[in-house]
Structure 1
């Protein structure tokens, strides 16, 4: 099966995390037999407005002229907002099915009933299928655009590699909580430090392991430096998948304090695959897979998170193990090879019926 990819986000050597989901999806589809006849992408971020203008101009020109390169059977477009003109263009000049993969912010960051929002609704109607990361986000899109009568397909952001993310309980040497995230505005790192501080202040000696990088890293490092319990904090910066798995495996509790309506929140599922108990803010994607009190816990504030954690720690060992096993079971359907195989089969079916 031959696919043409259009994406304004793709990793570069400098920006390894920028569009990593797109790259993971491409590699997974290729492993299942897909051939990408063209990959028209923007690799990495640009620091200046001039660089962004130049990069996007080049991207649009390549994409516009590539419409006449027709070896593909399907056009796979990632991120709706920045590709709106290209969807119009491709729909005008070719009859191959167009699949639009929504990421989250291409809907949540667009003001409802604005001209862009109305333009997005119009372009979504031209798609043969819309790919979303979760059932939660599917419901958000359908509520936002009730007049769109096209198929939706749930593909959980590439899924998780269970050959890497799996339980290794022998690595749990001491009580530890972990936080894996971009160190950016709205991701909740300040709340994580507050939760960690409250637990230790109230007599629960607990270690913290943190992984991630981002725009607020400098403020984050300053906060750690001045933290009362900084000797119990292990900050590791950007980590590979294997290194992240080691963090999850060494922790019993994973804190997911994001203040943003994440479309899925894959890190929470990675942690569950390592038999972590996830404490997630009651917002966005995690509400679709965390059942509070069953396989994890949901909270609305720092005090509530602290209360939930103390409640969990006070449980008998057998009760804790039941919650951990339920968390592990929740992660199983997100296995990467299976979800990629299902996506590829879905694309083949889509092309055969178009």
Structure 2
């Protein structure tokens, strides 16, 4: 199988999996409308999807460093879909948390192994890895549209369709891998644990900013537009769609200026953009939502390959942390944001998110761009 075909299928499968991460935030307004959940309660739903996922992803990464587990791609895709599909069928809050957590575990199992396989298939290309990452961003962007289309929680079983498609697309890639068993990324070079740990904190701060916004930007847009549900869907769609643009820009810019320099500039823009989301009046709000998404996603795929290059002997672990934590650990802060919103206002609760990319920027000032590892 040609490299382009493999990356295309992997990117499409990544989209199918990340639909379920985006669906959690997109379901929040339905939980509020149909079950009268408070901000704190819906924060708990986001936390359920994130808590086990954030813990499990490094574990799965360590396991894939020890044993190749390509079968995780279709299996974890199906698990991610099942959890979201059944989450709308029960009126029980604990069961809702359980099913959303199940989906989070499926997503956690998918990312480390898929990133390892994508790096192998891409031969270390920044552009190819950007396309792989873009697939996940497309999944995020499509999620609010899919949730809006089902019109109610009782129709969540229809959200199983992307999982079935994603599992099917993984199979030809896995068949091709069995014919390329010797084409793996060599575990050469020394691990730079100090740089990797600093990168991890930058990823965490970025995650808090993005996941915090994704959990509440829909409700915030509704508030600012007089309760119009379409305003919330539009804001969430822009937040996710901008990631498609950002990832592709990141891969292209890194090829010219390097990953660290590109990431520094993007985090600087993100500080300004999130401030605009919180305070900008009128339609400018949507412009800043899109700019925030682009700025936060420019370093997305770059952080994955940086982590892999900082830990060349543990590519799975590096992928589990940089790719997995990017989209899960931010959920751990969501209950704090929700509780603050209940106590004050949603605008006040979103204000601390402006600081997060500034912290990532400070960390990136201490990092260097290592020479990338290459596939054989």
TM-score, normalised with respect to structure 2: 0.23
Instruction: Specify which structure has the bigger relative contact order, considering alpha-carbon pairs within 8 angstroms and separated by 6 or more residues.
Output: 2
Highest Rg: 1 or 2?
A: 1
